[in-house]
């Protein structure tokens, strides 16, 4: 009998084989879906965070989120006090006078307020066993000052020319003395923030040491041991980090033994994982997603007032934008409520002034919210003498919501005869052009510190590198000098008020709204704290 | 399309050969191609028989339908081609009624084919051995090892030296002549009753042609198979085949014993063909291109004789233009001949006019 | 033969050099200043100057290029200031993800394309062929990122069959020990079958999305190649030897036609490895593609430069490998190469 | 000889189109319809693509807004129409620019040979090392995000194919007798190129353009999706999918669905056309020869 090759059969069999493989895939998919839900007990506390971390070194890096993340690995001399706003949920109090002891058990201030002597806890160690002592504190502060840029600037609250801190001494293992050029109690606030972090000198010296005005490359993706509540046990930049509890931490141990932080910028991912309760905390969701999740059983939304205004910065010296009436006219032609309700989905509020509500120095009576008043806006336009102008609005469209707001402003300002040309720039160009002051107007999500004086100094000092709007109002410089030399907050207030007044008269910035901080947390999360630097150690189930 | 009055009488019938000797009996075979410009009949109502051990030559220009006829017989006419009518009887069975599976037992088993172009007749990425073994094992239930031994023997038989090691060689490692020998070996692997050789030597040089033909001759004789040699070269037919059928525009227009044909062809076309052979013998260039004119457009229906436009005798003749000639019997000096011509039997007369 | 190899090598090197040169000068013509980016919003001029020095931006362009070429020979591709890691390290951690996705995607495409094209050509009825042509035209015309979104909405959000767009593994699972860098392979090698299934589940949707384009392309190619092969004389010859249509199809037509897919598959592989940007972005896949997008928006030279170099090298290597495959698979070329 | 070969298939194709290849005629008709809608639509449809209307934020498709509205209350039909015009128009520019660039360089390389040829070949080899998207991204990085940069990048990526084909063809034809004889008569080189060589390649070039068009439109959309193509508030299909992505999972599927669907239909139609055209023009197509 001739032997035959069963060709047709073979084709069918292979097709069936392929189908079986696919089906098996689907089956296995179903199988593990059910199992993943039940393992919450052993699952690390998971934080999904819509951020790109470029550096872990608070001594150098500028962005608030990066400082926020990095601050979890380092202890500091002092800490901010907190208020419980609802059960398990706390918010910090930015008042420097309420600063609490942390690694320092106590401190003495000299009579003229220029010298701070801190007494430290003794016998403490970094997580790798190296001694955590006064020498490390001195090394850390010196390093931050030497590297310059954002670190030194923030540590000294903007007073860098000449520097506020003249020297740091460590006479013995438990004493640190900070000498300042002038009295400035707000220093305690910055020491409590990421800039006051304590690094392990040995680690840093072993990996490139300290170079003036340059970041340390190794420290961008590593930590210099850990003096803080958590140790960075795994870090994949742009992807995730695993934090484990530091057994040598001098303070209250972290709530969770292990925290996994996923850096996810894709909104759908964040949303799906929040819905599936795969993330315990989700940070940085766009407001409409937060709104959507707030109605679902998966999620609880925590909001907090944060110093994060959304503004249109006008170039004070730019053509057209140098016209104060024109700038003021624009402020009356913004549909504030629409923006807050339809773009911020209610997660925002209104005010108008240089100091964000809740900051040290803020006075509600001075900074009432602007109203939407087209009549007034048109009248101001007429007074300004500007005729059918075109305004170039620079935006970074990769930031969520920005292009929507820009589009709304375009339609809104059209009504008072202003043509808006939306100029979209990639993030890098946006930052460069903005910092160099090469723009006419720019839409941005600001992140300021809660120290009013510092913010005023940053924004109003003529020709300062931080003054990227080139604001220079006659008569403000003497006031700023006076503010710099006034240590007592109570004595500062009248000066602050006059500066605010000057700012308001000139309307250099259009403040669209203040974005609220939002975190979407799973119902399992029992403890959550909001602070400008997120303290993950205080978060837990 | 005009109905041809296909004669059911063949030369074999005319010669009254015993019925039991008939191997293949083709009746009224018609093969059509569906083309963009309409249906084209490549084989038009062809009938003939092959006896056991007979050697039959089918001669014709390229495009005359010879290959299509061969492929139709084994049911391998490729779409859009299709056999639309006729019977193909091998022994008692009509091959047209067989399933493809049954038919493929015939192909390479009882009927084998040897193709024109040995270059493209092999799968280029399989060894000669594997292709031979495959052919053997399709028809015989033998082990791989046995099949390989058989293949080596066959290769030796067709004159491939060091046969067993050359089984592992790929087709491109063989010369053209050798490939043709391998093809012949494969065709004979399963002891076929009929070998259809379609232009087996066209692609080869003259010396190799002779060797290959000689080989074919020997092997076919040894195995007692019948041979159907398809060629456009009448020159190689002489002395090799018993009888010759001349094909033109899909029809058989002359059927003769080869002695008879060479002595006196009964159809004007055959005569033209013969002239070409003679001229070639006189070392002139070109084989068949010297017959003036081309084949008729197959998409147009025939009226009258298909050869009329080129016929030195009938061109312009109203009879030839209007009436299709019947297959007429001619009693020549060397036996009975059949010719599809109005002037069959009177060619000499007409030529003299 | 040695000559040929050397020549090929020369062409490959010239091509990679050309690609680097092209990208280097294209990228260095940028308006933005990378030093200012690294320095951050509050950097003063002094910081900017010293940063420019540290980043090697103060030397002449041709010197920068020379430095770049020489150091890349030592595996130093520069430092990414926007991610805080050396580029070589980034590539090392990101490439396996892309390779796993690309390989799976292209392999799926090859399998589906060959199976469906083979069925379409083998079936005598027109239906299968028409369906294949419709499917491949649609596949050719569908924007992969959109398809990914739709797939996520339907299959993972609504039906929950597949995980959401969360990368390579459920966040609760630890990646398997690195052996090859491919999670599916590593998890099997280290016996973590739970991880394997999880990695597989995460891989299926992105890989299928990746496979759509190559499937369209390959199925067309394979279909027409098969049809041509089926018209080859040796196919009829094989039939005449008594093989059934199916046997001839599977044993002769398909293997011969597969040869034509090698080069195309190789090129597709190279293309998906570096061009899977969109799918990686949508699925949150931590590969080279998503790295590239961020780097371009952040004007991170070093990374873009590194990725381009990687891409060029991949292309050249893959086309070289395709040639090697031909030599191994196709006896005619193998004989020629000897 | 070569003239006859190059001309014949086009005639055949024309005849077949006239005779009615249903699929081809249907696809051509469909694409023409889309082109017409996209060109005329924005003038006819009473909504403006950029007019915001916050009270109508995120409305589902209805009689008033057949495709619904987006998160700023902009009419999606108006945006899709304008967006499709942008996408398809830019795709056409890419195709034409690539063909022109490739033809010029190909003619130069083929006719001049030597150093010019070597350099151009090296350049194109290097260009082909990148996927099209990556090249477009590099150009975007060097210039600025927006459709012009993407068009430049994609054009650069698409020209090597034309260049290679034309270069090869020029070299082949230049060796033919009739060109040599024309040369002897004293016709200038340029005349030979454009009068005698170029016409042979038209069908090949047109085919390639048809095939590239779909891919170019998709790449443009992809760049828009990545935020490197069209910039807000400009309507472009890819960018609109990104805008809709955030709302896709919160239930407002229409924002991302419709732009993608339009892309899918338009590109599929061009693919079908390119396919059929290739079959008609390819001498290896479905021609049947008896015997």
Instruction: Please check the confidence at residue A116 and state whether its pLDDT lies above 90.
Output: yes
- A30, A372, A483, A487 from A495: Cα distances, Å: 66, 30, 6, 12
The least confident of A142-146, A215-219, B89-93, C2-6 is C2-6
Residue D64 lies in a domain: no
- B196, D26, D77, D230, D243 from D38: Cα distances, Å: 64, 18, 11, 17, 21
C-alpha angle A150-A155-A156 in degrees, rounded to nearest 5 = 105
Per the document, the length of chain A is 541
Task: Give the minimum alpha-carbon distance from D24 to chain B in angstroms, rounded to a whole number.
Answer: 17
The least confident of A303-312, A476-485, B301-310 is B301-310
DSSP label of A194: G
Q: How far apart are CA A18 and CA A23, in angstroms?
A: 9
Q: Do A445 and A434 contact (CB within 8 A), yes or no? A: no
Q: Between these two residues, B345 and A188, which has the higher pLDDT value?
A: A188
Closest by Cβ to D249, choosing from A268, A335, A429 = A268
Residue D214 lies in a domain: yes
Q: How far apart are CA D45 and CA A4, in angstroms?
A: 67
Closest by Cβ to C296, choosing from D140, D222, D248 = D140
Question: Which residues of chain D make contact with A520, given a CB cutoff of 8 A?
Answer: none
Q: Do D137 and C296 contact (CB within 8 A), yes or no? A: yes
Q: Quickly list DSSP for D79-130.
A: HHHHHHHHHHHHHHHHHHHHHHHHHHHHHHHHHH-HHHHHHHHHHHHHHTTS
Q: How far apart are CA C34 and CA C295, in angstroms?
A: 12
CB contact under 8 A, D232 and A411: no
Residue D263 lies in a domain: yes
Task: Give the minimum alpha-carbon distance from A97 to chain D in angstroms, rounded to a whole number.
Answer: 43
Enumerate the β-bridge partners of residue B85: B30
Q: What is the pLDDT of residue A313?
A: 93
Nearest chain C alpha carbon to A261: C171
Residues 6+ apart with CB under 8 A from C325: C262, C266
Closest by Cβ to C232, choosing from B104, B108, B120 = B120
Residue closest to D229 by CA, chosen among D140, D97, D138, D154: D140
CB contact under 8 A, B64 and D287: no
β-pairing, A81-86 with A89-93? Answer: antiparallel
- Is B256 near chain D, with CB under 8 Å? no
Per-range mean pLDDT, top range of A4-8, B234-238, D23-27:
D23-27
Nearest chain A alpha carbon to B140: A2
Q: How far apart are CA A485 and CA B92, in angstroms?
A: 122
Q: How many C-beta neighbours within 10 Å does residue A503 have? A: 23
- What confidence category does residue A40 fall into, taking pLDDT thresholds of 50, 70 and 90? very low
Nearest chain C alpha carbon to A274: C164
Place of tokens 């010029």: D104
Please report the number of interchain residue pairs, chain A to chain D, with beta-carbon separation below 8 angstroms. Answer: 65
Question: Which residues of chain C make contact with D218, given a CB cutoff of 8 A?
Answer: 141, 143
What share of chain B in percent tops pLDDT 90? 6
CB contact under 8 A, B141 and A4: no
Q: Do A321 and A471 contact (CB within 8 A), yes or no? A: no
Mean pLDDT confidence for A111-129: 92
Q: Do C42 and A62 contact (CB within 8 A), yes or no? A: yes
Contacting subunits of A (3+ beta carbon pairs below 8 A): B, C, D
Residue closest to B338 by CA, chosen among B239, B256, B234, B280: B256
Q: How far apart are CA D148 and CA D150, in angstroms?
A: 5
Residue closest to B57 by CA, chosen among B208, B164, B213: B213
Q: How far apart are CA A291 and CA A345, in angstroms?
A: 7
Q: What is the pLDDT of residue A350?
A: 92
| 3-state SS record for A67-100 | HHHHHHHCCCCEECEEEEEECCEEEEECCHHHCE
Q: Write down the ipTM of this complex.
A: 0.81
CB contact under 8 A, C331 and B117: no
Instruction: Please check the confidence at residue A16 and state whether its pLDDT lies above 70.
Output: no
Instruction: Please check the confidence at residue B283 and state whether its pLDDT lies above 50.
Output: no
Q: How far apart are CA B234 and CA B212, in angstroms?
A: 17
Q: Between these two residues, B212 and A165, which has the higher pLDDT value?
A: A165
**pLDDT tens, residue by residue, A132-157:** 999 999 999 999 999 987 888 889 88
Mean pLDDT confidence for A504-529: 92
For residue D264, give its domain range: 7-44+98-288
Enumerate the β-bridge partners of residue B25: B49, B89
Mean pLDDT confidence for B20-44: 84
Instruction: Please check the confidence at residue B43 and state whether its pLDDT lies above 60.
Output: yes
Residue D59 lies in a domain: no
**Mind listing the domains of chain A with CATH numbers?**
53-229 (3.40.190.10), 309-515 (3.10.105.10)
Q: Quickly list DSSP for C53-121.
A: HHTT-SS-HHHHHHHHHHHHHTT---EETTTTEEHHHHHHHHHHHHHHHHHHHHHHHHHHHHHHHHHHH
**pLDDT tens, residue by residue, C126-180:** 888 889 988 999 998 889 889 988 988 888 888 888 887 888 888 777 788 888 8
Q: Do A280 and A47 contact (CB within 8 A), yes or no? A: yes
Mean pLDDT confidence for B208-230: 86
- Is B101 near chain A, with CB under 8 Å? yes
Q: Which two tokens stand for residue C118?
A: 């083979």
Most D-contacting residue of C23, C145, C150 (CB-CB within 10 A), to test interface: C145
CB contact under 8 A, C156 and A29: no
Residue D84 lies in a domain: no
Residue D166 lies in a domain: yes
Residue D75 lies in a domain: no
Closest by Cβ to C240, choosing from B74, B101, B173 = B74
Domain count, chain D: 1
pTM of the model: 0.83
Q: Which parts of chain D register pLDDT below 50?
A: 1-9, 283-291
Residue closest to A164 by CA, chosen among A153, A175, A174: A153
Closest by Cβ to B101, choosing from C240, C244, C335 = C244
Enumerate the β-bridge partners of residue C171: none
Residues 29-88 of C with CB under 8 A from A: 31-34, 36-47, 49-51, 54, 79, 81-86
Q: How many CA atoms lie within 13 A of D33 on its CB side?
A: 10
Enumerate the β-bridge partners of residue A230: A245
Task: Give me the phi and psi of B221, to 5 degrees please.
Answer: -60, -50
Closest by Cβ to D54, choosing from A268, A292, A338 = A338
Mean pLDDT confidence for B217-231: 87
Question: What pLDDT tens digit does each residue of chain C (338 aa) get?
Answer: 667 778 878 888 888 888 888 778 777 766 667 777 777 766 777 788 888 887 777 888 888 888 888 888 888 888 888 888 899 988 888 889 999 999 999 999 999 999 999 999 888 778 888 899 889 999 988 898 899 889 888 888 888 888 878 888 887 777 888 888 899 999 988 888 889 999 999 999 999 999 998 999 899 889 988 988 888 888 888 988 888 888 899 999 999 998 888 888 888 888 887 678 888 888 888 888 888 888 888 888 888 888 888 888 888 888 888 888 888 888 777 666 54
Q: How far apart are CA C27 and CA D233, in angstroms?
A: 27
Nearest chain C alpha carbon to B127: C331
Q: Domain residue spans in chain B?
A: 2-110+192-281+288-352
Enumerate the β-bridge partners of residue A301: A520
Q: What is the pLDDT of residue B279?
A: 58
CB contact under 8 A, A2 and B109: yes
Question: Which residues of chain C make contact with B76, given a CB cutoff of 8 A?
Answer: 236, 239-240
- A185, B99, B138, B141 from B104: Cα distances, Å: 101, 8, 9, 15
**pLDDT tens, residue by residue, A443-502:** 988 888 888 888 888 889 888 878 888 999 998 999 988 888 887 878 888 999 999 999
CATH C-level class of B2-110+192-281+288-352? alpha beta
Q: What is the pLDDT of residue D7?
A: 39
Q: What is the pLDDT of residue D176?
A: 66
- What confidence category does residue A24 fall into, taking pLDDT thresholds of 50, 70 and 90? very low
Enumerate the β-bridge partners of residue C86: C79
**Residue D219's CATH number:** 1.10.3720.10
Instruction: Please check the confidence at residue B5 and state whether its pLDDT lies above 60.
Output: no
C-alpha angle D66-D70-D74 in degrees, rounded to nearest 5 = 75
Residue closest to B266 by CA, chosen among B352, B353, B327: B327
- Is B129 near chain D, with CB under 8 Å? no
DSSP label of C37: H
Dihedral, CA of residue A521, residue A522, residue A528 and residue A531, to nearest 10 = -10
CB contact under 8 A, A278 and C46: no
Q: How far apart are CA B231 and CA B201, in angstroms?
A: 9
- What confidence category does residue B326 fall into, taking pLDDT thresholds of 50, 70 and 90? confident
Residue D72 lies in a domain: no
Residues 420-479 of A with CB under 8 A from D: 422, 424-426, 429
- Is C321 near chain B, with CB under 8 Å? no
- What confidence category does residue B329 fall into, taking pLDDT thresholds of 50, 70 and 90? confident
Mean pLDDT confidence for A368-379: 92
Q: How far apart are CA B338 and CA B254, in angstroms?
A: 5
The least confident of A36-50, A64-78, C307-321, D1-15 is D1-15
């Amino acid at each position: 009998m001739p032997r035959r090759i069963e060709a047709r059969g073979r084709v069918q069999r292979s097709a069936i084989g392929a189908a079986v493989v696919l089906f098996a895939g689907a089956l296995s998919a179903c199988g593990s879906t059910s199992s993943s839900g039940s393992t919450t007990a052993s699952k690390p506390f998971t934080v999904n965070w819509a951020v790109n971390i470029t550096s872990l070194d608070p001594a150098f890096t500028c962005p608030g989120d990066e400082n926020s993340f990095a601050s979890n690995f380092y202890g500091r001399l002092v800490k901010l006090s907190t208020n419980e706003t609802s059960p398990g949920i706390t918010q910090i109090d930015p008042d420097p006078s309420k600063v609490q002891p942390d690694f320092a058990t106590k401190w003495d201030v000299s009579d003229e307020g220029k010298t701070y002597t801190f007494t430290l806890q003794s016998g403490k160690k970094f997580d790798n066993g190296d001694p955590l002592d006064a020498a490390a504190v001195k090394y850390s502060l010196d390093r931050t000052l030497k590297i310059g840029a954002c670190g030194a600037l923030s540590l000294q609250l903007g007073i860098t020319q000449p520097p506020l801190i003249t020297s740091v001494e460590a006479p013995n293992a438990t004493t640190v003395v900070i000498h300042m050029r002038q009295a400035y109690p707000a220093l305690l606030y910055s020491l409590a923030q990421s800039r006051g972090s304590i690094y392990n000198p040995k680690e840093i010296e072993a990996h490139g040491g300290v170079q003036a005005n340059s970041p340390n490359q190794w420290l961008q993706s590593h930590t210099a041991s850990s003096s803080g509540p958590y140790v960075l046990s795994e870090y994949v930049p742009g992807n995730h980090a695993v934090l484990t509890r530091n057994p040598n931490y001098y303070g209250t141990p972290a709530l969770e033994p292990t925290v996994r932080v996923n850096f996810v910028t894709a909104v759908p991912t964040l949303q799906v994982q929040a819905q599936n309760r795969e993330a315990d905390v989700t940070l940085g969701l766009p407001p409409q997603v937060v709104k959507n999740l707030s109605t679902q059983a998966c999620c609880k939304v925590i909001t907090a007032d944060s110093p994060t205004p959304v503004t249109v910065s006008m170039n004070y010296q730019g053509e057209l934008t140098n016209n104060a009436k024109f700038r003021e006219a624009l402020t009356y032609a913004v549909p504030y409520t629409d923006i807050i309700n339809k773009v911020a989905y209610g997660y925002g509020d209104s005010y108008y002034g240089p100091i964000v509500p809740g900051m040290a120095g803020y006075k509600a009576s001075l900074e009432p919210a602007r109203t939407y008043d087209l009549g007034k806006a048109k009248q101001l336009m007429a007074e300004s003498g500007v005729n059918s102008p075109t305004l170039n609005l620079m935006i970074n469209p990769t930031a969520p919501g920005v292009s929507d707001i820009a589009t709304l402003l375009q339609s809104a300002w059209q009504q008072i005869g202003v043509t808006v040309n939306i100029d979209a720039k990639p993030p890098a160009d946006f930052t460069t052009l903005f910092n160099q002051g090469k723009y006419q107007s720019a839409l941005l999500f600001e992140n300021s510190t809660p120290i009013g004086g510092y913010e005023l100094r940053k924004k109003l000092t003529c020709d300062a590198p931080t003054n990227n709007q080139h604001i220079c109002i006659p008569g403000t410089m003497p006031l700023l000098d006076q503010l710099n030399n006034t240590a007592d907050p109570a004595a500062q207030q009248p000066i602050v008020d006059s500066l605010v007044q000057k700012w308001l008269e000139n309307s250099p910035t259009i403040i669209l709204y203040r974005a609220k901080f939002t975190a979407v947390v799973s119902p399992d999360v029992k403890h959550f704290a909001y602070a400008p630097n997120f303290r993950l150690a205080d978060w837990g189930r | 399309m005009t109905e041809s009055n296909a004669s059911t009488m063949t030369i074999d019938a005319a010669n009254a050969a015993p019925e039991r000797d008939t191997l293949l009996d083709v009746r009224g075979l018609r093969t059509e191609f569906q083309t963009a410009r309409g249906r084209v009949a490549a084989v038009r109502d062809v009938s003939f028989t092959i006896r056991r051990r007979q050697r039959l030559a089918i001669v014709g220009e390229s495009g005359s339908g010879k290959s299509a006829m061969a492929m139709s017989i084994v049911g391998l006419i490729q779409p859009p081609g299709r056999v639309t009518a006729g019977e193909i009887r091998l022994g008692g069975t009509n091959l047209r009624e067989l399933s493809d599976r049954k038919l493929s037992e015939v192909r390479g088993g009882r009927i084998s084919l040897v193709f024109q172009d040995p270059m493209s007749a092999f799968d280029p990425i399989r060894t000669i051995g594997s292709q031979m073994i495959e052919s053997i094992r399709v028809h015989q239930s033998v082990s791989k090892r046995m099949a390989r031994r058989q293949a080596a023997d066959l290769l030796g038989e067709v004159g491939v030296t060091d046969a067993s090691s050359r089984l592992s060689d790929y087709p491109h490692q063989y010369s053209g002549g050798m490939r043709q020998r391998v093809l012949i070996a494969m065709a004979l692997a399963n002891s076929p009753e009929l070998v259809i050789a379609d232009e087996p030597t066209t692609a080869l040089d003259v010396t190799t042609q002779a060797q290959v033909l000689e080989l074919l001759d020997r092997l076919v004789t040894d195995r007692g198979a019948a041979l159907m040699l398809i060629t456009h070269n009448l020159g190689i037919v002489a002395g090799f085949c018993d009888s010759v059928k001349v094909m033109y525009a899909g029809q058989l227009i002359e059927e003769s014993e080869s002695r008879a044909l060479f002595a006196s062809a009964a159809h004007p076309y055959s005569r033209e063909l013969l002239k070409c052979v003679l001229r070639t013998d006189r070392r002139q260039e070109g084989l068949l291109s010297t017959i003036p004119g081309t084949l008729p457009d197959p998409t147009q229906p025939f009226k009258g004789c298909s050869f009329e436009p080129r016929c030195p005798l009938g061109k312009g003749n109203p009879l030839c233009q209007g009436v299709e000639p019947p297959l007429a019997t001619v009693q020549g000096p060397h036996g009975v001949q059949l010719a599809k011509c109005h002037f069959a039997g009177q060619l000499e007369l007409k030529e003299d006019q | 033969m040695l000559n040929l190899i050397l020549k090929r090598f020369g062409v490959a090197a010239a091509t990679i050099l050309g690609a680097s040169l092209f990208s280097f000068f294209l990228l260095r013509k940028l308006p933005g200043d990378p030093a200012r980016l690294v320095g951050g919003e509050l950097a003063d001029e002094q910081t900017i100057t010293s940063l420019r020095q540290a980043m090697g931006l103060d030397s002449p362009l041709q010197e920068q290029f020379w430095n770049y070429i020489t150091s890349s020979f030592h595996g130093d591709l520069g430092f990414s200031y926007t991610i805080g890691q050396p580029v070589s390290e980034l590539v090392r951690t990101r490439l396996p993800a892309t390779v796993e996705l690309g390989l799976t995607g292209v392999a799926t495409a090859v399998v589906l394309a060959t199976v469906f094209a083979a069925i379409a050509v083998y079936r005598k009825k027109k239906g299968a062929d028409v369906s294949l042509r419709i499917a491949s035209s649609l596949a050719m015309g569908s924007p992969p990122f959109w398809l990914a979104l739709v797939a996520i909405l339907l299959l993972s959000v609504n039906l929950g069959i597949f995980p959401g767009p969360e990368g390579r593994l459920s966040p609760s699972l630890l990646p398997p020990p690195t052996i090859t860098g491919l999670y599916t392979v590593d998890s099997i090698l280290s016996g973590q079958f739970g991880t394997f299934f999880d990695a597989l589940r995460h891989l299926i949707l992105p890989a299928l999305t990746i496979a759509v384009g190559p499937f369209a392309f390959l199925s067309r190619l394979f279909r027409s190649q098969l049809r041509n092969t089926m018209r080859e004389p040796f196919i009829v010859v094989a039939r005449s030897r008594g093989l059934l249509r199916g046997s001839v199809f599977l044993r002769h037509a398909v293997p011969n036609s597969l040869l034509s897919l090698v080069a195309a598959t190789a090129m597709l592989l190279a293309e998906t490895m570096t061009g899977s940007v969109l799918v990686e972005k949508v699925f949150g896949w931590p590969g080279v593609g998503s790295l590239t997008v961020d780097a371009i928006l952040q004007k991170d030279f070093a990374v873009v430069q590194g990725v381009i170099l990687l891409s060029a090298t991949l292309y050249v290597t893959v086309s070289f490998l395709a040639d090697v495959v031909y030599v191994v698979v196709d006896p005619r070329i193998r004989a020629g190469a000897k | 000889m070569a003239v006859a070969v190059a001309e014949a298939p086009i005639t055949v194709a024309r005849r077949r189109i006239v005779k009615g290849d249903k699929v081809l005629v249907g696809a051509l008709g469909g694409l023409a319809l889309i082109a017409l809608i996209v060109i005329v639509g924005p003038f006819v449809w009473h909504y403006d693509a950029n007019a915001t209307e916050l009270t109508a934020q995120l409305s589902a498709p209805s009689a008033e807004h057949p495709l619904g509205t987006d998160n700023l209350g902009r009419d999606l039909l108006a945006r899709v129409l304008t967006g499709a015009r942008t996408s398809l128009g830019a795709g056409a520019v890419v195709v034409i620019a690539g063909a022109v660039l490739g033809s010029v360089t190909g003619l130069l390389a083929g006719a001049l040979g030597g150093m010019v040829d070597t350099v151009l070949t090296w350049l194109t080899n290097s260009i082909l090392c990148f996927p099209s998207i990556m090249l477009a991204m590099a150009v975007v990085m060097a210039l600025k995000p927006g459709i012009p940069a993407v068009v430049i990048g994609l054009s650069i990526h698409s020209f090597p194919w034309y260049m290679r084909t034309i270069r090869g063809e020029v070299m082949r034809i230049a060796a033919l007798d009739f060109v040599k004889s024309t040369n002897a008569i004293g016709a200038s080189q340029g005349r030979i190129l454009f009068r005698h060589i170029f016409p042979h390649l038209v069908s090949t070039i047109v085919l390639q353009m048809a095939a590239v068009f779909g891919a170019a439109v998709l790449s443009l959309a992809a760049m828009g999706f990545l935020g490197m193509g069209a910039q807000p508030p400009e309507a472009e299909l890819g960018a609109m999918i990104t805008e809709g992505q955030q709302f896709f999972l919160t239930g407002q599927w229409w924002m991302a669905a419709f732009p993608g669907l339009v892309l899918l239909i338009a590109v599929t139609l061009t693919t079908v056309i390119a396919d059929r055209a290739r079959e008609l023009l390819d001498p290896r197509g479905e021609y049947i020869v008896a015997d």
